[in-house]
Amino acid sequence: MRVITQRAFGGVEQLVEEDWPLPVPGPGEVRVRIRAASFNPVDVLYRRGGFGGRLPQVLGRDLSGVVDALGEGVTGLAVGEEVFCYRAGQGSNGSHAEYTCVPAVLMVPKPRRLGFAEAAALPVVALTAWQCVTRARVRRGEAVFVAGGSGGVGSMALQLLHHLGAHPVLTTAGSDTSAEYLVKHLGVEPGHILRYRGRTPEQWLADVLAMNGGQPVPVALDFVGDSMKELCFAVSAVDGRVVSIVEEPADSSFNLWDETRSPLILRSLEFHFIQLGARARYAPRETWTVYREQLEAIRGLLEEGALKPPAVRGVGPLSAATAREAHRLLEEGRVQGKLVMECG
pLDDT digits (tens, 9 = 90+) for 163-182: 999 999 999 999 999 999 99
| Per-residue model confidence (pLDDT) at position 260 | 79
How far apart (Å, rounded) are the C-alpha atoms in residues 102 and 105? Answer: 8
**CB half-sphere exposure, 25, CA atoms < 13 A:** 22
Residues contacting 34, CB < 8 A, separation 6+: 63, 64, 65, 95, 97, 98, 99, 100, 343, 344
Which pTM value belongs to this model? Answer: 0.95
Q: Tell me the domains of the chain and their CATH numbers.
A: 2-122+282-342 (3.90.180.10), 125-273 (3.40.50.720)
| Per-residue model confidence (pLDDT) at position 169 | 98
pLDDT digits (tens, 9 = 90+) for 66-96: 999 999 999 999 999 999 999 998 999 999 9
Measure the CA dihedral 297/127/314/70, to 10°.
-70
| Per-residue model confidence (pLDDT) at position 238 | 98
Using a pLDDT cut of 70, give the percent of the chain over it: 100
What pLDDT band is residue 257 in, cutting at 50, 70 and 90? Answer: confident
How far apart (Å, rounded) are the C-alpha atoms in residues 334 and 320? Answer: 21
| Per-residue model confidence (pLDDT) at position 128 | 98
Mean pLDDT of 121-135: 98
Mean pLDDT of 28-40: 98
CA 90 to chain centre: 17
What pLDDT band is residue 336 in, cutting at 50, 70 and 90? Answer: confident
Question: Do residues 144 and 82 lie in contact, with contact meaning Cβ atoms separated by under 8 Å?
Answer: no
| Per-residue model confidence (pLDDT) at position 273 | 97
Judging by beta carbons within 10 Å of its beta carbon (0-12, 13-18, 19+), is residue 69 exposed, middle or buried?
Answer: middle
| Per-residue model confidence (pLDDT) at position 229 | 96
| Per-residue model confidence (pLDDT) at position 254 | 81
What is 74-125 written as a DSSP string? --S--TT-EEEEE-TT-SSS-SSBSEEEEEGGG-EEPPTTS-HHHHHTSHHH
What is 30-59 written as a DSSP string? EEEEEEEEEE-HHHHHHHHTTT---SSEE-
Residue 195: closest CA among 215, 180, 217: 180
Question: Do residues 117 and 123 lie in contact, with contact meaning Cβ atoms separated by under 8 Å?
Answer: no
The H or E element spanning position 241 is strand 236-244
| Per-residue model confidence (pLDDT) at position 261 | 81
- pLDDT higher than threshold 90 for residue 251: no
